[in-house]
């Protein structure tokens, strides 16, 4: 049997509300379980597809430093420092603070 997009959407919506497994739901509603499981997988794939959003204009902001604040203490670090340098500074701060 062939189902329209609207019919598939109706079955999928009803299934989602049921809280049942796809296989069980299909059997209970006279649908072919393998077919219904395929519908659920397609629906899941559509819902999780990555969509890239590109900005309309290029950002011209460029950071020159990183600011770390804790209470009254403010530490300015140059942007682009290595991970090892940053780890070393943070470790030193743990001892001091």
Model pTM above 0.75:
no
Longest distance between any two alpha carbons in the chain, whole Å: 73
Give the pLDDT band of residue 52 (cuts 50, 70, 90).
confident
Which pLDDT belongs to residue 6?
Answer: 92
Tokens of 23: 């296989």
CB 43 within 8 A of CB 14: no
Q: In which residue are the tokens 């743990």 written?
A: 94
CB 11 within 8 A of CB 3: yes
In this predicted model, what pLDDT tens digit does every residue of 22-37 receive, in sequence order? 999 999 999 999 999 9
């Amino acid at each position: 049997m062939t189902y329209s997009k609207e019919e598939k959407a109706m079955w999928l919506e009803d299934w989602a509300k049921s809280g049942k497994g796809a296989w069980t739901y299909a059997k209970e509603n006279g649908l072919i379980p393998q077919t219904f499981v395929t519908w659920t997988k397609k629906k899941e794939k559509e819902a999780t597809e990555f969509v890239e959003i590109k900005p309309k204009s290029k950002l011209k902001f460029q950071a020159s430093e990183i600011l770390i604040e804790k209470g009254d203490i403010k530490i300015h670090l140059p942007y682009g420092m290595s991970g090892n340098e940053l780890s070393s500074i943070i470790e030193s701060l743990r001892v001091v603070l």
